[in-house]
């Protein structure tokens, strides 16, 4: 964990959809390793990774950043999922595990379009970019920078971050451009990690051992059965989540997330990995495929 922090340009703004769930206790690591799709045990204290929780059928319940604070403490940063609902479901699997799961309503999550300490490493895919930076006021900061977007995220007890809806929308749009699906309730338990192309974020493990949905994930990987993946689409107007993507009068895929700011409108869709080049539309509106940006893997 780094204790370096540097001045940044512009104020932090609130990310109201982001919430924090904490795991505390001697079995926190073991419990999370058994439940979540990425290799929690591979993290050192002061590091973080993309991770998620799956159904037994391998469908994504929630995506999150998992922070290992110390040997008995994990924080889950939830961009979309409700922490109380997720905590209640997870507690059903605790049995005798010595873990306390708490939704931390006292913590505020905020963002800033600025160049944090590790942003240069992040753009190069340096694994050190998954370090947690400890700021002077005991806040923690994560490098969320990627290709073409310097960003840092802060978790703190402070409650004075600016409310800036435009900046928050830009943040979500940048998430989508880098291939981080922002799943609303309608898209929960609909997609496998491969269909969401979460390998781009190094968001799941196929070798760490058993976890809910692991058999589906591993079989898809080793048998080469992944036929669909994530695609970035651009449009001239907002795109509806859950809408069909149409090509040549037939359904090609579905919209899983969308974001807009000003005159920019983007969406993530699950489409066949191989499909003929043709005009695409959503709800009668033409859309264009674009390249996903790199640099958000951790």
Q: What does the pLDDT look like over 22-62, one tens digit per residue?
A: 999 999 999 999 999 999 999 999 999 999 999 999 999 99
Q: What is the pLDDT of residue 146?
A: 92
pLDDT level of residue 2 (50, 70, 90 thresholds) = very low
Domain 185-290 matching CATH 2.40.30.160: the answer reads yes
Q: What is the pLDDT of residue 149?
A: 78
Q: What is the pLDDT of residues 91-135, one digit of tens each?
A: 999 999 999 999 999 999 999 999 765 433 433 344 447 888 877
How would you label 235-257 residue by residue, b for 16+ Cβ within 10 Å and e otherwise?
beeebebebebbbeeeebbbbbb
Q: Report the pLDDT averaged over residues 190-215.
A: 96
Q: What is the CATH number of domain 13-177?
A: 3.30.1360.120
Q: What is the pLDDT of residue 6?
A: 39
| Higher-scoring residue by pLDDT: 148, 180 | 180
Contact present, 28 and 90 (Cβ < 8 Å): no
Q: Report the pLDDT averaged over residues 66-82.
A: 97
Q: What is the pLDDT of residue 134?
A: 79
Q: What is the pLDDT of residue 5?
A: 38
Q: What is the pLDDT of residue 167?
A: 96
**Residue 251 pLDDT greater than 90, yes or no:** yes
The bridge status of strand 73-78 relative to strand 60-70 is antiparallel
Percent of the chain with pLDDT over 90: 80
Q: What is the pLDDT of residue 10?
A: 67
Torsion of CA 239, 240, 245, 247, to 10 degrees: -50
Q: What is the pLDDT of residues 262-295, one digit of tens each?
A: 999 999 999 999 988 889 999 999 999 999 999 9
Sign of CA dihedral 89, 39, 294, 286: negative
| Higher-scoring residue by pLDDT: 69, 138 | 69
Contact present, 153 and 111 (Cβ < 8 Å): yes
Question: Computed over its alpha carbons, how large is the radius of gyration of the chain?
Answer: 19
Which residues of the chain does CATH 3.30.1360.120 include? 13-177
Contact present, 83 and 20 (Cβ < 8 Å): yes
Mean pLDDT for all residues in the chain: 91
Q: Name which of 92, 73, 58, 286 is nearest 194 in CA terms.
A: 58
Which residues of the chain does CATH 2.40.30.160 include? 185-290
Q: What is the pLDDT of residues 206-245, one digit of tens each?
A: 989 899 999 999 998 888 778 999 999 999 999 999 999 9
The structure's pTM equals 0.92
141 is in an annotated binding site: yes
**Residue 205 pLDDT greater than 50, yes or no:** yes
């Amino acid at each position: 964990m780094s204790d370096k922090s540097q001045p940044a340009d512009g104020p932090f703004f609130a990310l109201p959809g982001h919430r924090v769930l904490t795991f505390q206790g001697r079995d926190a690591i073991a419990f999370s390793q058994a439940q979540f799709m990425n290799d929690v045990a591979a993290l050192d204290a002061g590091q973080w990774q993309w991770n998620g929780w799956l159904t037994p059928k391998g469908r994504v319940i929630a995506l999150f950043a998992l922070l290992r604070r110390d040997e008995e403490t994990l924080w889950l940063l939830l961009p979309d999922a409700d922490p109380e609902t997720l905590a209640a479901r997870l507690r059903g699997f605790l049995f005798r595990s010595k873990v306390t799961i708490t939704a931390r309503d006292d913590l505020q999550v905020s963002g800033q379009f600025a160049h944090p300490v590790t942003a240069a490493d992040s753009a190069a895919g340096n694994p050190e970019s998954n370090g947690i930076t400890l700021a002077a006021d005991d806040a923690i900061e994560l490098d969320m920078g990627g290709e073409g977007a310097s960003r840092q995220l802060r978790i703190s007890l402070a409650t004075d971050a600016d409310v800036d809806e435009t900046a928050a929308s830009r943040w979500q749009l940048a998430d989508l451009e880098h291939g981080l699906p922002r799943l609303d309730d309608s898209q929960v338990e609909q997609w496998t990690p491969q269909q969401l192309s979460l390998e781009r974020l190094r968001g799941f493990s196929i070798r760490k051992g058993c976890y809910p949905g692991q058999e589906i994930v591993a079989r898809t990987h080793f048998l080469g059965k992944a036929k669909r993946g994530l695609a970035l689409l651009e449009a001239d107007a907002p795109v509806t989540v859950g809408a069909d993507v149409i090509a040549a009068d037939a359904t090609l895929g579905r919209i899983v997330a969308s974001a807009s700011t000003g005159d920019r409108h983007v969406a993530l869709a699950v489409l066949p990995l191989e499909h003929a080049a043709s005009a695409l539309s959503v709800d009668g509106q033409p859309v264009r495929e674009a390249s996903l940006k790199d640099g958000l893997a951790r």
